[in-house]
Structure formats: C-alpha cells, structure tokens
C-alpha cells in the first residue's frame, strides 16, 4: 500500500503530467493483455522450464492473469523457430486449465524480415496436441547488438509489423513491447526517431518497458517516471490507447518503488501491468502487485 507521502507526491505529479490530456474512455480491452502479468524468457533456466505446472500454480496463487512466454530467440538456439515446443505446450495447458491467458513474445534483430516473420508466425500458428494455442502475440521492439541503425531499422520494423498484421488479420490481438519513451528522451542516440506511428498502426496494445529501476529511486520518482511514460504514449498515440505497463526489474524495486509503480498504473487506468521477470519477484513485489486495480474508470459526467 502506498505511504501518505508517496500518495500526496503522486497526486501532484499525476496532475502535472496528465491533466492536459483527455481521460481515456472505457473500452472493451483485448483480454490477453489485460490484468496482472508476469514474464518468462528462454533464459529463465531449467528450474522454470522443466516444471510448467508448478510455476503456473504459483503465478495463479499470486493473482497473475497472463503469462508472457518467450517462444524464440535469434541466438539460442540459432536454427529453430520455437524454443522447447513440448514445454510451450505444457505451459499453455497448465495456464488454460486455470483460466489464465498466455501471450507469446519474440525479440527480432530486425535484419531479415522474412526470417523474423516466420518465427513470429510459428508462435502464432503453434497448436498443442489438445488443439490449444497462444492467446496473443507480442513483438519485442528493441535494438540488439546486430540490429541495423537509422532508416533501415525503422523500415524493417515497419515491413515486419505490416507482414505480421496482414498474416493474422485485424481480429488477432497483437502487442508491441517498446522501450521507455522517457528513457529514449534521456538517451536520444538509443533509437533516434522511434517509429511510434508504426506501433500505433499495426498493434492493438502497447507494452512500454517503463523501467524506473534503471533511472530512479524512491516512490515519488518511480511514480513520476511511470505516469510520464503513460502520458507520453497517450498524447502521441491517442487517449484511448490500450496500455500494459512493464515496471522494471522486480528484484531492483524496493517496497516504496513497487507501491508507487502500482499506484501510477491504478491512477492512470491502464489495462494491465507487470514486472520483469517472474524469477525476480520478491514478497514485496507480489504484495504490491496484488493491489493493482483494473476496474474501468468511470466516465466523467
């Protein structure tokens, strides 16, 4: 629960950041990206990947609604489209048995649009022996060490995003995981001229990596950073933008920072929120995330 100091500071910061914007209207949210989530990468280790049912049971007990599961990597293993497909199926079965959603995600190096489209579609087309599939797909949009720079990077992202959307149709839920807008302002050479228009055109949900753990300490600063990223994206892509905010590395958040992140998400009325990553959560993180409130914000008047 937020302390009175964080609550007062948060209210003032939210007013300064959000008042110029129109409030987000109540909409039907894409369900796979809504609510409390948690993340599993291919680097989570055998302790996680060998025991899907045990891990999902733990997530469910702590209120997780959506599991974000990495399905591929350009480096590990190099020649495959899907990472450990038998275990992917076990995660899907375990989560669906508990009425949880599973979203596949993949980080493309943005070098070969055709190859990266194939990896994305392998996850989207994946079916288990029971006929189950992922409930949505999220493209992790951030540069790697081999990602081209300048116009080539933006052009490849545009072409890849368009091809995925054309392949899945308009009804399939797609998310875009993007770097922190405020972080890119602080470091303009990280991705100059970030293509927000591509993100807004081809994706239903934006998942900003609002990693205050890289920038700030303390409740008020964490609240401001989270609220600022939300406000920027709504101003740039529209006040009804559907957002799932990723609040930084769980293990680096103290109780004040975790509570402030949750408070900013609740006050702004985002559709979903999570921390990176499942294996880093401590008791204080789970306690803070249990206070997330995704009830529709009542419309004014």
CATH number of the structural domain spanning residue 214: 3.20.20.80
Per-residue pLDDT tens digits for 246-296:
998 998 999 999 999 999 999 999 999 999 999 999 999 999 999 999 976
Range of the domain at 58: 29-289
DSSP output for 224-257: HHHHHHHHHHHHHH-TT-EEEEEEEEGGG--HHH
Is 97 part of a structural domain of the chain?
yes
pLDDT of residue 14: 40
Per-residue pLDDT tens digits for 18-51:
333 333 333 344 589 999 999 999 999 999 999 9
Is 298 part of a structural domain of the chain?
no
* Residue 117 vs residue 17, higher pLDDT: 117
The helices-and-strands tally (H runs, E runs) of the chain is 11, 8
Q: Tell me how many domains the chain contains.
A: 1
Which single residue is written with the structure tokens 């009425």? 99
Is 11 part of a structural domain of the chain?
no
Predicted TM-score of the model (pTM): 0.88
Is 22 part of a structural domain of the chain?
no
Is 9 part of a structural domain of the chain?
no
Per-residue pLDDT tens digits for 159-203:
999 999 999 999 999 999 999 999 999 999 999 999 999 999 999
Which two tokens mark 232?
Answer: 């920027």
- What mean pLDDT is reported for the chain? 88
Is 203 part of a structural domain of the chain?
yes
């Amino acid at each position: 629960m937020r302390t009175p100091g964080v609550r007062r500071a948060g209210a003032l910061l939210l007013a300064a950041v959000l008042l110029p914007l129109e409030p987000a209207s109540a909409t039907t949210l894409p369900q796979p990206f809504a609510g409390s989530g948690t993340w599993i990468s291919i680097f989570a280790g055998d302790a996680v990947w060998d025991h899907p049912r045990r891990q999902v049971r733990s997530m469910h007990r702590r209120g997780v609604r959506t599991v974000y599961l990495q399905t591929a990597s350009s480096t590990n293993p190099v020649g495959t489209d899907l990472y450990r497909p038998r275990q992917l199926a076990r995660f899907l079965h375990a989560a669906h048995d508990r009425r949880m959603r599973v979203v596949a995600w993949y980080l493309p190096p943005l070098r070969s649009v055709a190859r990266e489209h194939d990896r994305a579609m392998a996850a989207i087309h994946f079916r288990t022996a029971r006929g189950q599939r992922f409930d949505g797909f999220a493209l992790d949009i951030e540069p790697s060490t081999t990602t081209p720079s300048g116009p080539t990077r933006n052009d490849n992202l545009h072409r890849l995003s368009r091809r995925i959307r054309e392949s899945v149709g308009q009804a399939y839920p797609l998310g875009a995981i993007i770097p922190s807008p405020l972080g890119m302002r602080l470091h303009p050479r990280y991705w100059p001229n970030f293509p927000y228009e591509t993100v807004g055109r081809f994706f239903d949900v934006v998942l900003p990596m609002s990693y205050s753990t890289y920038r700030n300490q303390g409740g008020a600063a964490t609240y401001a950073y989270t609220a600022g990223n939300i406000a920027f994206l709504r101003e740039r892509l529209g006040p009804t933008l559907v957002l799932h905010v990723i609040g930084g590395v769980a293990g680096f958040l103290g109780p004040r920072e975790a509570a402030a992140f949750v408070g900013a998400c609740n006050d702004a009325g985002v559709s979903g929120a999570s921390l990176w990553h499942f294996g880093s959560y401590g008791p204080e993180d789970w306690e803070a995330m249990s206070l997330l409130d995704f009830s529709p914000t009542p419309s004014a008047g």
